Structure 1
């Protein structure tokens, strides 16, 4: 079960997605299903089959979003976080081999379609929490344990 935390921007994105699905996409697809159903034989009607499937996907996502939005806790930036890695931080790390990565630690619902976000529940995030610049963190995954050094910690100023 993912930790039910989210940033303010992430919560707004989920609310916007819910609103779009419910007010724009669902009515359009419902209209297409009605039109395709009026053509007769539904078993061989590709428009009907596809749009009916899409309607189920939309309804499933709407149910998930409504349930999730109620359970999520927004974590806001606090000045006490400066200098340490906490939820919402942008972190730059470097491995022993010189590989560098930069990412933001966010909630599970925010990581999709973003290559630069990682979940608070990931092994990397768990290893970095409460660490400071120049600290090292041992991250254990299925591939083994890797040591990462923290180069930089930033918090978004737009929040």
Structure 2
């Protein structure tokens, strides 16, 4: 795991907890029951329910372990409590424009809740790192896989 804190919004933490609870309290017990039933059917070497069940149980246990570690390391930050709303920090929703005047709105969230398709950029992503601390009108240069781009910050807002 990285040395930097695992920042996450309250909504992101709730989503991790909901997934953990659903896997632990619902899906895992049903699967254990299915495996026990399949094991009672005799030969396990050709028993698809048993083999698939054991494989899926390992996947669930691995995911539960990962979720548990991420929740323990999480530092929940509520962006609505950000005192300096004139600069880009965790939880900011930012309107940026590139050199070609293509505008894009993105929200800087925790790495565990990042979703580029919906405009949520992880805190440690190159674009988010470049925008940190920027104010309206600032220009920031970012090295992306497609090449270097320069962005201008047009608007900054926080929830609440």
> TM (normalized to structure 1)?
0.89
Contact 2:94 2:105 in 1 (8 A): yes
- 2:157 corresponds in structure 1 to 154
Instruction: State how many pairs are aligned.
Output: 157
CA–CA separation in structure 2 for the residues paired with 1:131 and 1:112: 22
CA–CA separation in structure 2 for the residues paired with 1:113 and 1:51: 33
Match of 2:66 among 39, 64, 67: 64
> TM (normalized to structure 2)?
0.89
Match of 2:84 among 78, 81, 84: 81
Q: CA deviation at 1:23?
A: 0.4
- 1:119 corresponds in structure 2 to 122
Alignment of 1:21-32 (within 5 A): 21-32=23-34
Contact 2:115 2:121 in 1 (8 A): no
Match of 2:139 among 130, 136, 153: 136
Contact 2:20 2:67 in 1 (8 A): yes
SS at match of 1:40: coil
CA–CA separation in structure 2 for the residues paired with 1:116 and 1:155: 15
With over 3 angstroms needed to count, the CA separation of the structure-2 counterparts of 1:144 and 1:121, relative to structure 1, is same
With over 3 angstroms needed to count, the CA separation of the structure-2 counterparts of 1:113 and 1:83, relative to structure 1, is closer
Q: List gaps (5 residues or longer) in structure 2.
A: none
CA–CA separation in structure 2 for the residues paired with 1:101 and 1:44: 54
Q: CA deviation at 1:13?
A: 1.2
